[in-house]
Chain A
Amino acid sequence: MSIEPFDLNGRDRRNGAKLAVEHLSKSFGSGTSAVQALAPLDLSVRTGDFLCVVGPSGCGKTTLLNIVGGFERPTSGRALIDDRPITKPGRERGVVFQQGALFNWMSVVENVAFGPRSCGVPAEKARQHARELLEMVGLAGFAHRYPYELSGGMQQRVGIARALANDPEILLMDEPFAALDQQTRELLQEEIRGIWRRTGKTILWITHSIEEALFLATHIVVMTARPGRVKAAFRSRFSESPDPLIAATPEFTAAKRQIVELLRSESQRAQSLEATV
């Protein structure tokens, strides 16, 4: 078991891709103060893929996700869902934010029911569905609490349940576990893997953690320093392993080293870049 280099943009992948990113670039500001966050970047994600994006801080990962989410417009190029250009947020793309995106004036069950209710499902039915999802993420007893009464890990579970409530085709996650402690993170990684296996959802996952990427992903994209491009892409099979201690195997360590080295050279470049700005 290992990771192998992979051409994300092969013709066979392009055709029928769930999510395609074509020559996407993004600059902020204008004139001399312009910052190019994304260089022209190409990606394609097929249905059922669990694609993890790793890259140095500031390389444009969040920007990429914001464009795919429909929250921001690209400067050039385009992002497509099922061959339709993305222009605004939509319910077929569920988003889980890092933190602070729950509606703290609503109880947990209302948070989860928000999506279906916004899409016209009657309130009671939406709540019933929300309670089932809360049970799935282990929060059945907390339906009527408010988000501020929950721990960080529980809040992230609510965020995941809320995104799942609309039954989206693709889940977009921007470092959803970054603010959590190691144990909670590992627990939630297990859970998200279970959810992914059961539901077969397509997932675009941004992370700082190489282990997390190796543990979860079917595909890993390593980005360059700003402006972000694809530096390398890998097919990973560690996530298929039933072994919960897969991270302790020498193959896993070797794969990790391979990606660490790619990232290290980029991080150094990123630092020298920041110094000149």
Chain B
Amino acid sequence: MAQSKALEQPIEALDETTLELRAGRRDRWLTSLTFLVLFSIWVALTGSGLWEPLIKPIFLPSPVAVFEAFQNLLEGGYQGRSLGYHVGISFYRFATAFSFCILVGVPLGLLLGMSRPIRAVIEPPIEAIRPVPKLALLPLFLIWFGIGNLSKIVVIAAPVFPIIVISAMQAVRSVSQKKIQAAQALGAGTLTVFRRVVLPASLPGIFTGIRVSLSIGVTMLVGAELTATSEGIAWMALTAAEYLSTDIVLVGVLIMAIMGYTLDRIVRALEARLVHWSGKD
């Protein structure tokens, strides 16, 4: 049906956009298929009440059990707090850390990229602390910033901040010299060159830094809620693991996965809108 309709259309109708739409639809279909297969394997291994599980529920509960655990958590909360509260507090920690990194890190990176003296002052210390495993600093952060939210926010920001700063700096430094010269020859002053050439040309690199650090930030959430707290979605999963409540652990893990995935999608969508021209020189 769809095919005969396509044949009736004039050739010009099959333009770039239509072809791209079709390819996109096919890609999405294939992706859904992957998830369907993975889910089926999960169902098959755990039985889901239909047959004997091949893996003990304590190692891998069935999807049905996980869904039930999710419903129970929605109704009864976890350890005196609602599920929404746990998710909310984790998101608050993550979002605060990330907003700080972007709002301060991107301008700082741009500045470092533009000015050699400032780079000489600030880049070496940032490079020096970059390889230090930030989780190892957690005890220190607890002493410095207390057991409240601040120490958690600092732990998440610690690895994200240098990545965002350095990627913004590199982005500025790799802006094509030719384009800057072209702008200068057209009468643009330093400020115009920065605002209309360097800044937009750096955006793709800045976005890459943000996307890379996104998953690192979600990972650090687990580290941040490892100790000295009794709330948060990662904390929930960690304590549930102590009682071998694998179903609750999985609910927590899935929520964090969805959070990471959604954020990545949002950034990608923004990227596609704002830097659609990237890499097409």
Q: A-side interface residues toward B, CB under 8 Å?
A: 69-71, 88-91, 93-95, 97, 100-106, 114-115, 118-119, 146-148, 162-163, 165-166
With A104-B277, A104-B280, A148-B281 given, is the CB distance from A118 to B181 under 8 Å?
no
Beta-carbon contact of A95 and B275 below 8 Å: no
Beta-carbon contact of A146 and B277 below 8 Å: yes
With A69-B185, A89-B185, A162-B186 given, is the CB distance from A100 to B176 under 8 Å?
yes
Number of residues of chain B lying within 8 A (CB) of chain A: 23
Beta-carbon contact of B197 and A103 below 8 Å: yes
In B33-57, the 8 Å CB interface with A consists of: none
With A100-B176, A146-B277 given, is the CB distance from A71 to B181 under 8 Å?
yes
Beta-carbon contact of A105 and B277 below 8 Å: yes
Q: Does any Cβ of A come within 8 Å of B125's Cβ?
A: no
With A103-B179, A103-B197 given, is the CB distance from A88 to B184 under 8 Å?
yes
Q: A165: which B residues are within 8 A, CB to CB?
A: 186
Q: In the bound complex, what is the Cα–Cα distance between A61 and B189 (angstroms)?
A: 27
**Of the residues B178, B188, B200, B280, contact of A101 by C-beta under 8 Å:** B178
Beta-carbon contact of A105 and B189 below 8 Å: no
Q: A100-B178, A146-B277 are in contact. List 18 more A-B contacts (CB 8 A).
A: A70-B185, A89-B184, A90-B187, A91-B185, A94-B185, A97-B182, A101-B179, A101-B181, A101-B182, A103-B179, A103-B182, A103-B197, A105-B275, A105-B277, A118-B188, A119-B186, A163-B185, A166-B186
Q: In the bound complex, what is the Cα–Cα distance between A276 and B63 (angstroms)?
A: 73
Q: Does any Cβ of A come within 8 Å of B239's Cβ?
A: no
Q: B-side interface residues toward A, CB under 8 Å?
A: 176, 178-179, 181-189, 192, 196-197, 200-201, 203, 275-277, 280-281
Beta-carbon contact of B182 and A166 below 8 Å: no
Beta-carbon contact of A115 and B176 below 8 Å: no
Q: In the bound complex, what is the Cα–Cα distance between A153 and B189 (angstroms)?
A: 29
Q: In the bound complex, what is the Cα–Cα distance between A94 and B185 (angstroms)?
A: 6
Beta-carbon contact of A115 and B187 below 8 Å: yes
Beta-carbon contact of A91 and B275 below 8 Å: no
Q: A147: which B residues are within 8 A, CB to CB?
A: 277
With A97-B178, A114-B196, A118-B192 given, is the CB distance from A104 to B281 under 8 Å?
yes
Closest Cβ–Cβ distance, residue B38 to chain A (whole Å): 37
Q: B197: which A residues are within 8 A, CB to CB?
A: 103
Cβ contacts A to B, 19 pairs, < 8 Å: A69-B181, A69-B185, A71-B181, A88-B184, A94-B186, A100-B176, A101-B178, A101-B181, A101-B182, A103-B201, A104-B280, A104-B281, A105-B277, A114-B183, A118-B192, A119-B187, A148-B280, A163-B185, A163-B186
Closest Cβ–Cβ distance, residue B203 to chain A (whole Å): 8
**Of the residues A100, A118, A148, contact of B277 by C-beta under 8 Å:** A148
With A104-B281, A148-B281 given, is the CB distance from A114 to B181 under 8 Å?
no
Nearest B-chain residue to A119, judged by Cβ: B187
Q: In the bound complex, what is the Cα–Cα distance between A114 and B193 (angstroms)?
A: 11
**Of the residues B182, B189, B201, B203, contact of A95 by C-beta under 8 Å:** B182
**Of the residues B182, B185, B275, B276, contact of A90 by C-beta under 8 Å:** B185
Most buried by A among B178, B192, B203: B178
Q: A93: which B residues are within 8 A, CB to CB?
A: 185
